[in-house]
Structure 1
Amino acid sequence: MQYEPDRAGVAALLKSQDMRRFVQEGAELAQAMARAKYPRDTGDLRRDIRINTEIVGDRWQANVTAYNAAALPIEYGNVRTKIARHILQNIAEDLSRRR
């Protein structure tokens, strides 16, 4: 007996509300991790870390974005700090290794 994948079933699963919830939960974990790692002066930077879920191509995708302008020098460094911390990138890499 040869295995035949259920391509229509997989395609439906990737766009299902269950998959959206699963992707949303992963993004919420990433958001919480980012909020814990970003510096806290006023709290604005941590509050401006947002989640967006959308269907991209054939599946749900979640994006975690730091919308505050203060996130740029923290993520990528600048002339004054010269240190790029890559907080969001490191969290994404860490979570992808866990799955």
Structure 2
Amino acid sequence: MYRFKGFDSAECGDSMSALETLVNAWMEAERPRIRYMCQSMRGEHILLSFVYEDTRELEKRVATQAQTGVTGGLPRIYDEDLIDECPTSPRIPVTPPPMH
């Protein structure tokens, strides 16, 4: 799930170093997987906007998939069925039908 986080330089007295410290502290604490970043102006203030994924949620999802045997979006049972049937699967022709 994507989340949004915004920073306004007005919160830091318009100090670039204070804004940088605030953003870096958030990044170190949350370890976000940033998907989109935007910098814009609001009057005399700098706005930084981030769209990110929470890495803790990602780690939980991966751990759950590993525990349930889901790999590549499909349960392992499907992977095994495909291995057993290929390459002579009756559902998938070896040569494509002729084009008219």
Q: TM-score, normalised by structure 2?
A: 0.28
Q: TM-score, normalised by structure 1?
A: 0.29
Larger Rg: 2
Structure with the larger helix share? 1
Structure with the larger strand share? 2
